[in-house]
Amino acid sequence: MNHQARKMAVVLLALAVLCAAAACSKSAGLPRLEKDDVVVAFGDSLTYGVGAAPQESYPAVLENLIGRRVVNAGVSGEVTAAGLARLPEVLEREKPALVILCLGGNDFLRRLDRKQAALNLRAMVQLVREKNASVLLLAVPALGLSVAPDPLYRDLASDLNTPLEEETLSDILADRSLKSDLIHPNAAGYRRLAEAVRDLLKKNGAIE
């Protein structure tokens, strides 16, 4: 191989690496939601809407933003193990096209095993997919001096190729004007969360 050919081969290899990196950086993507599709918001008190009126919870606001039925399947105080046990009945009843999964905060508060929480969340994603529905993850802040999102959500989203809304809950809980107490948003905070979910759905092709 002459010098010119070697140079061309190096250029082509570099382009291939760049294309592969670009492909890896793309969002996971979601199927388009039809107008009559059901979305289930599954989680704990952050989904239920503690700290605001029922119509101000993030699922209620999201329903108005995206024009699809959004079922609020939030249970206050729920840990991931209980969520995993409850999820099959909700999937069977609602038959959603999309599940927005927001659990883990109570595991952190109760100092439960993080690895088990991650395993429970992984199992929930698999259960949803077995029902031919898609999943969007919402990251919950880790315990500590900051309200940074726990890295287990990023790891899960990467491993499972699942869209992740990572920053918004942490941003809300770092802003006193958006909170009803130390761990729950107020109406303005839930609206901020619903808008972030709406934007992520648009980014991933689920809605226009």
**Active-site residue among 44, 45, 57, 107?**
45
Helix intervals (H) in 45-113: 45-48, 58-66, 80-94, 105-109
Q: Coil, strand or helix: which one is 134?
A: strand
What string of DSSP letters covers 21-59? HHHHHS----PPPPTT-EEEEEESHHHHTTTS-GGGSHH
- Catalytic annotation present for 184: yes
Q: Which of 57, 107, 150, 184 is catalytic?
A: 184
Cα angle: 42, vertex 141, 53; to 5 degrees: 50
Structure tokens at 77: 């105080």
Which listed residue (25, 36, 177, 181) is catalytic?
Answer: 181
Contacts with 132 (C-beta within 8 Å, 6 or more apart), sequence order: none
Which residues are known catalytic residues? 45, 181, 184
